[in-house]
């Protein structure tokens, strides 16, 4: 049979049973739409996370107290909620003499309820030095950051995040106002959105709010003239000296760089991609089984036609090709519709999420997703069309023509 005739014959088969064909396509449309959506969401979420990690400044090295055991997926004990008191002013002093380190900002964290007039909210406060604003490359929207003199003289000043400003002051200008603090709460988890942060002088946080003399984290900005891994090794040896550690396996601190965080993130997102792909595959599998089901019904319904074609000279291969092509055409069309629908939903999602999410949202419609969707749709057609097509080809012309 000529290609053109197979295509025409299959097309006629599809158009003669519109309702059934549309129903068959629906399964694939849903499958492909979800593939596109999931891949797009995966890509956008990855970009968003990367952006957040990169947005916290550059050439950053984090020191957290306590050693990290196990893989790079494990977190140091201090992050898991264990109180480790080994990071102190001794360390910052030592680091200030290290030439490859540009700046160091110690941090302590706590939670507290803050009040202005009748408004209150629970916040994570961060006690640090004036250098913190330089290390983290933070911009001050209104007013000014506190200075080293504020830190030294225990001045009760705070830089507050946008969300908190809105909660406490509404539309009023918060600069120059006084906020009060109610009873303090436990130390909160790592990593808080900066819109929800209250930054105060470390002296106030340590001595007056928390009553401690250690740090939770040291933020180090490497000198741009030095290679980051060199700086890491310098910082490590400074710490070992200060802490009098000779055996590296007994380190009581963990050094992490932004690159570490990024590569960890890469691993997390590839796991996420695998997961999303699995979910999408399941929905395609369901669509494929639907196709097989409906194709089998079609084959049964068209038994007489199949018998007639065979009687007129079609061989088994001709019949297989006809029904297989019908399945592939249906799934490919379903694939195209799915791509259009999926892309529209991605656009819609972008408009909604970029408005609703405080962090924004990235538009992502990876071409690989589209290519993959088409390939997968056609493949689904072949995979789930082959069995019904074989069933059709096996029909005996006499039996088929007798069939009513």
Partner 1 sequence: MIELQTVERVYGDGALGMRALQGVSLTVLSGEFVSIMGPSGSGKSTLLHLVSFLDTPTRGTYRFRGRDTATFSDAERAAIRNKEIGFVFQAFNLLGRMSVYENVELPLLYSSLHPEERRAAIEAAVLSVGLTEKLHLKANTLSGGEKQRVAIARALVCKPSIICADEPTGNLDSVSGAQVMEILRRLNEEGHTIILVTHETYTARYGRRLVTMKDGRIASDERVAGHASAGLSK
Q: Give the whole-angstrom CA distance, residue 342 versus residue 102.
A: 48
Min dist CB 322 to partner 1, Å, is 10
Q: Give the whole-angstrom CA distance, residue 369 versus residue 366.
A: 5
Q: What is the DSSP string of 302-324?
A: THHHHHHHHHTT--HHHHHHHHH
| 183 phi/psi in degrees, rounded to 5 | -20, 135
The smaller minimum CB distance to partner 1, of residues 276 and 392, is found at 392
Min dist CB 399 to partner 1, Å, is 10
Min dist CB 2 to partner 1, Å, is 7
The smaller minimum CB distance to partner 1, of residues 109 and 310, is found at 310
The smaller minimum CB distance to partner 1, of residues 16 and 241, is found at 16
Min dist CB 330 to partner 1, Å, is 19
The smaller minimum CB distance to partner 1, of residues 8 and 229, is found at 8
The smaller minimum CB distance to partner 1, of residues 185 and 396, is found at 396
67, 176 contact by CB (below 8 A):
no
Give the sign of the dihedral formed by CA 203, CA 207, CA 211, CA 212.
positive
> Percentages helix, strand, coil for the chain, rounded to the nearest 5?
60, 15, 30
The smaller minimum CB distance to partner 1, of residues 1 and 264, is found at 1
Cα–chain center distance at 101 = 32
Min dist CB 389 to partner 1, Å, is 15
State whether residue 56 is helix, strand or coil.
coil
Min dist CB 313 to partner 1, Å, is 2
User: What separation in angstroms does the CA of 148 have from each of 43, 73, 133, 201?
Assistant: 42, 36, 11, 8
The smaller minimum CB distance to partner 1, of residues 4 and 355, is found at 4
Half-sphere exposure of 18 (CA within 13 A, CB side): 0
The smaller minimum CB distance to partner 1, of residues 45 and 298, is found at 298
Q: Which residues bind partner 1 (CB under 8 A)?
A: 1-2, 4-5, 9, 16, 304-305, 308-318, 396-398, 401
Q: Beta-strand (E) ranges in 145-227?
A: 159-160, 180-185, 197-201, 217-222
Min dist CB 392 to partner 1, Å, is 14
Q: Which two tokens stand for residue 101?
A: 């380190």
Min dist CB 1 to partner 1, Å, is 6
């Amino acid at each position: 049979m000529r290609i053109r005739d197979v295509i025409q014959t299959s097309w006629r088969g599809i158009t003669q049973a519109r309702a059934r064909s549309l129903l068959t396509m629906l399964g694939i449309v849903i499958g492909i739409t979800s593939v596109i959506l999931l891949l797009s969401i995966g890509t956008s979420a990855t970009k968003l996370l990367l952006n957040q990690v990169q947005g916290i400044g550059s050439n950053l090295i984090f020191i957290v107290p306590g050693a990290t055991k196990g893989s790079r997926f494990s977190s140091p004990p201090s992050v898991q909620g264990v109180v480790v008191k080994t990071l102190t002013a001794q360390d910052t002093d030592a680091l200030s003499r290290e030439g490859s380190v540009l700046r160091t900002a110690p941090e302590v964290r706590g939670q507290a309820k803050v009040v202005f007039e009748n408004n209150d909210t629970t916040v994570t406060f961060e006690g640090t030095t004036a250098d913190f604003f330089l290390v983290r490359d933070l911009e001050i929207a209104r007013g000014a950051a506190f200075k080293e003199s504020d830190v030294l003289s225990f001045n009760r000043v705070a830089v507050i995040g946008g969300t908190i400003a809105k909660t406490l002051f509404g539309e009023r200008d918060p600069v120059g106002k006084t906020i009060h603090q109610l009873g303090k709460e436990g130390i909160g988890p790592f990593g808080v959105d900066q819109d929800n942060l209250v930054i105060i002088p470390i002296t106030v946080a340590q001595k007056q709010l928390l009553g401690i003399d250690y740090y939770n984290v040291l933020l180090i900005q490497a000198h741009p003239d030095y290679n980051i891994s060199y700086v890491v090794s310098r910082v490590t040896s400074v710490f070992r000296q200060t802490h009098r550690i000779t055996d590296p396996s007994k380190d009581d601190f963990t050094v992490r760089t932004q690159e570490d965080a990024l590569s960890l993130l890469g691993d997390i997102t590839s796991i996420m991609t695998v997961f999303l792909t699995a979910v999408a595959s399941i929905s395609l599998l369901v669509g494929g089984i639907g196709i097989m089901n409906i194709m089998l019904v079609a084959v049964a319904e068209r038994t007489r036609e199949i018998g007639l074609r065979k009687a007129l000279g079609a061989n088994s291969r001709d019949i297989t090709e006809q029904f297989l092509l019908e399945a592939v055409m249906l799934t490919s069309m379903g694939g195209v519709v799915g791509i259009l629908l999926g892309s529209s939903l991605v656009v819609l999602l972008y408009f909604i999420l970029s408005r609703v999410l405080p962090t924004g949202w990235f538009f992502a419609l990876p071409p690989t997703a589209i290519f993959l969707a088409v390939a997968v749709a056609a493949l689904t057609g072949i995979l789930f069309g082959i069995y019904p097509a074989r069933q059709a080809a096996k029909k005996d012309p006499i039996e088929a023509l007798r069939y009513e």
